[in-house]
Chains A and B, each alone.
Chain A
């Protein structure tokens, strides 16, 4: 137990502080940023399950995000159903889609896998944006706000706790991939598939499992996001940019680590919020500028700190420990 506490102290501090914040801070803007950080963090954690732990780097995860968002929005506007039911429907559809994609792209590696996932998300984007009669096409769908928990019409404080619950569950899922038999097997498959196969590990099944689970988790966040923002439109929810963002947070925070996606989201979402607040009203809008910074940060991070913030922290800790060790050596000498 003590070992678990030591391993997860970073997460405990982060999530604990988040839980306490709404008791102290009442500022709507700040709470809004907190909810977004948690949702983007959870989305990146979902991406990390496939991209990090299974090594299936997807650039089409917005497909599942869009499925979750549209399931809830369509159920709510056409049949007046609760977003919780929309979330379940989204999970079912995403599991089916994730299993199909995971199965079909199973043989593909690296850039081939990334390309196939882009193609899947683009097919969904085109179908949803052209199927006007059912999805209202490119106009998008306003998601109705009805106060209450069952309808997810919540205030800022309640949203913080819903998003925090989501983040905790996703953190747990990642810890499972780090510490469980399945997780170790996946790591084996990721590093050396032939060797893993030789040990009797069903590598294909495991990869499909990871992609499918990742799809379901992404879809749930899509539903929450749609309810929170109150609007879905195909060119946003199915965009390649969004898929890149899930990956970006994870890489900057530390790919294949449980805390990484959340660290990345804290940095990137705050940066975005800050730039949105300071640069809005500039001629071309803030979007361009912060995305230029995104792009450059991504290039620099993968080049110089490929292990991300989480890895950087570990590296610093190790070097401090080393220099301390050296200091004690000197003391002994």
Chain B
């Protein structure tokens, strides 16, 4: 392909469109991934049930829309407190007992939780694919030659706002500082009089609230079904490993990279193969920079 054609006006339009799509998608992935990386960074637990909480968020949006015609973006206001409670309850019932246990115990506890939640959804709501389509999912905006969907733009803006709020909370509030201190050194934090159990409880609840909110936000864009979480959770593992597990800024950059791979991959190779692309990327990162593109080396061999 000659360079003149590569930079022709049509190609610039395509690139701009792909760029916008990447940013929009990346913002939503970031909100999903940020909860996972928060929990990992502070509690050192990989939550294999993360996708199921996302799925529950999607169902919350679906039922609120179906039963009471509530727009998913209003449901968001309810979902945050609801999922904070869900987080507190699941921490008290399940996570609290394994927080100091071995990695295997933690892996299989969250794996068990994932299996149980998926099938609770299957029993309660069957395996049918359902869709949430409020008016804004049908609106297509055009700016210049670039087209995008209104639902996606709103989801992106809200996801970004929530992510920034979480960053601000972690950076500037006392509680955020306490949480970061615990992440840096559990024992030292305990010696300084930090109630680490309270920190873990909060971390888990906030992480679950983030992914619950993400579920509500993506509901108008994707189908809702019991295993809907799986595609997103695998992707958010890719995101957080890329960014360095536990690194929140890394998660944001990782989301953009994964979104770029997905968008460009779908455009140039067809949607069928985009997942292969990001799993290959995932494996490559795990192999060559397992601590992530920006993380510290060596974390992966500590069993983290």
Q: Which residues of A contact B (CB under 8 A)?
A: 57, 59, 104-105, 107-112, 114-116, 118-120, 122-123, 126-127, 130, 240-241, 244, 247-248, 251, 255, 283-284, 287-289, 291-292, 294-299, 302-303, 306
- Complex interface: chain B residues within 8 A of A251 (CB): 108
CA distance A268 to B206 in the complex (A): 35
Alpha-carbon separation in the docked complex, A206 to B111 (Å): 27
Known: A57-B107, A287-B122. A109 touches B117 (CB 8 A): no
Q: Which residues of A contact B126 (CB under 8 A)?
A: 283-284
Residues of B within 8 A of A292 (CB): 115-116, 119-120, 123
* CB proximity of A265 to chain B, nearest CB, Å: 17
A119 touches B286 (CB 8 A): yes
A-side contacts of B122, CB under 8 Å: 284, 287-288, 291
Whether the Cβ atoms of B286 and A303 lie closer than 8 Å is: no
Partner of B230, one of A107, A114, A240, A295: A240
Interface of chain B, main secondary structure: helix
Interface string of B278-303 (1 = CB under 8 A from A): 01101100110010000000001111
* Apart from A118-B237, A123-B283, A289-B123, 11 more pairs, CB < 8 Å: A111-B103, A111-B303, A112-B241, A112-B286, A122-B275, A122-B279, A126-B276, A284-B123, A295-B116, A296-B116, A302-B105
Q: Is the CB of B300 within 8 A of A109?
A: yes
Are B105 and A105 interface neighbours, CB within 8 A?
no
Of the candidates B104, B280, B302, the one having the most CB atoms from chain A within 10 angstroms of its own CB is: B104
Q: Which of B25-60 contact A (CB under 8 A)?
A: 46, 48
List of B residues within 8 angstroms of A114 by Cβ: 46, 48, 107
A284 proximity list for chain B (CB < 8 A): 122-123, 126-127
The interface residues of chain B lying within 8 Å CB-to-CB of A306 are: 101, 105
**A295–B280 Cα gap in the complex (Å)?**
30
Across the interface, which residues of A come within 8 angstroms of B112, CB to CB? 294-299, 302
B-side contacts of A127, CB under 8 Å = 276
The answer for the CA separation of A125 and B239 in the assembled complex, in Å, is: 20
A-facing residues in B230-279 (Cβ within 8 Å): 230, 234, 237-238, 241, 245, 272-273, 275-276, 279
The CA-CA distance from A207 to B131 in the complex, in Å, is: 46
- Interface contact B300-A112, CB-CB below 8 Å: yes
**Which one of B108, B120, B300, B301 lies within 8 Å of A298 (CB-CB)?**
B108
Report the interface size class on chain B. 35 or more
Instruction: Return the chain B residue nearest A286 by Cβ.
Output: B123
CB of B276 to closest CB in A, whole Å: 5
Please measure, in the bound complex, the distance between the C-alpha atom of A285 and the C-alpha atom of B91, giving whole angstroms. 30
Whole-angstrom distance between the Cβ of A236 and the nearest chain B Cβ? 13
Closest to A112 in B: B300
Q: Is B113 an interface position by the 8 A CB rule?
A: yes
B117 CB to nearest A CB, Å: 7
Contact A122 B107 (CB under 8 A): no
Q: Are A122 and B113 in contact (CB under 8 A)?
A: no
Closest to B104 in A: A57
Q: Within the complex, what minimum Cβ distance (angstroms) separates B302 from chain A?
A: 7
Contact A241 B290 (CB under 8 A): no
Q: How far is the CB of B277 from chain A (nearest CB, A)?
A: 10
Chain B residue at minimum C-beta to C-beta distance from A129: B272
- In the assembled complex, which residues on chain B have CB atoms less than 8 Å from the CB atom of A289? 119, 123
- Bound Cα distance from A248 to B104, whole angstroms: 12
* Nearest-Cβ distance from residue B288 to partner chain A, whole angstroms: 9
Contact of A104 among B46, B98, B287, B302 (CB under 8 A): B287
Taken together as a complex, chains A and B put the C-alpha atoms of A110 and B290 apart, in Å, by: 13
- Find chain B residues with CB under 8 A from A110 CB: 103-104, 107, 303-304
- In the complex, A287 Cα to B97 Cα: how many Å? 28
B228 to chain A, nearest CB (A): 14
